[in-house]
Amino acid sequence: MTETIRLASGAEARATNDAGAGAVVCLNGGQSAEATGTWSATLEWLVRTLAPLEQRLRFVEVRYRIKSWRRLDLCLEDARAAIEAAGARRVLLLGFSMGGAVSVSAAGDERVTAVLGLAPWLPDRLDVSPLRGKRLDVIHGSLDRGLPGIPGVSPALSRRGFDRARAAGATGSYTLLRGGLHGVAVRRPGGHVVPLPRARGWAGLVRAQLEAFAGSG
């Protein structure tokens, strides 16, 4: 069962399952323009696919008030409000694209034990110190690129961010998914979510990380 909840920051979230072994807070990507937040097709498809298989975990998908890396401060407030609303002692932050930077910034919360970045945007200026003593796992599509008019994140950028996090005291892993694009699914006009090529490969890798998180408690 999925319910929509209002976060203390004013953003919205969708919660699926009860928090048993922990919660997974799902944080969307963004853009340059300061646009109203939307639900992530990538995260929605993963939650629909994996939540029935991982019923020990509560999944909380966040819809930012403003989805822009120019207002990362607001996205961070929304993430922190979602951690609070998740109602779990242990939280994994699942960040897609810009959500990777939001997740890293929110990782200092004592309830957060791990961050899982999917094609995460980890710019060189991003402070990775909140990950000290935590776990960072990255999954990135090998074909991901930023092209004119098409969002994307270079695997080389997330690799540099991962290496900086390791140097700052984080543990974790970096996985390059052969044939993977930027994201797992897209939303067609009308709202239908359609998986991209290699979606099942993404789902398998994400599920393995979720099982490790659930079992580590």
Tens digit of pLDDT for each residue in 118-128?
999 999 999 99
What is the rounded CA–CA span in Å between residue 90 and residue 112?
6
Q: Over range 198-209, report the average pLDDT.
A: 98
Tell me what the mean pLDDT of segment 84-103 comes to. 97
In percent, the amount of the chain with pLDDT more than 90 equals 87
Residue 68 · residue 31 · CB < 8 Å: yes
pLDDT at res. 151:
77
Comparing CA positions, the residue from 102, 165, 103 lying closest to residue 133 is 165
pLDDT digits (tens, 9 = 90+) for 51-81: 999 999 999 999 999 999 899 999 999 999 9
CATH superfamily of 2-215: Alpha/Beta hydrolase fold, catalytic domain (3.40.50.1820)
For residue 217, what pLDDT band results from cuts at 50, 70 and 90?
Answer: confident
> Model confidence over 18-40: pLDDT tens digits?
878 899 999 999 988 888 999 99
Is a pLDDT exceeding 90 seen at residue 117? yes
The torsion region of residue 55 among left (phi > 0), alpha (psi -120 to 50) and beta comes to alpha
Position 32 scores a pLDDT of: 86
Enumerate the domain spans of the chain: 2-215
Position 149 scores a pLDDT of 65
CA dihedral 88, 92, 98, 101 (to 10 degrees): 100
**CB-count exposure of residue 179 (10 Å: 0-12, 13-18, 19+):** exposed
Q: Which residues contact 92 (CB under 8 A, 6 or more apart)?
A: 22, 23, 24, 25, 112, 113, 114, 115, 116, 209, 210, 213
Q: Residue 2 pairs with which residues in a beta bridge?
A: 16
Tens digit of each residue's pLDDT (9 = 90 or more) over 144-182: 987 666 679 999 999 999 999 999 999 999 999 999 999
The mean pLDDT value for 3-9 works out to: 96
pLDDT grade, residue 49 (50/70/90)? very high
Separation CA 69–CA 77 (nearest Å): 13
What pLDDT does residue 216 have?
87
Query: What pLDDT is stored for residue 211 in this prediction?
Result: 97
Determine what percent of the chain is predicted with pLDDT higher than 70.
98
For residue 142, give the nearest of 94, 194, 96, 198 by alpha carbon: 198
The chain-wide mean pLDDT, for the chain, equals 95
Express the helix, strand and coil content of the chain in percent, nearest 5 each: 30, 30, 40
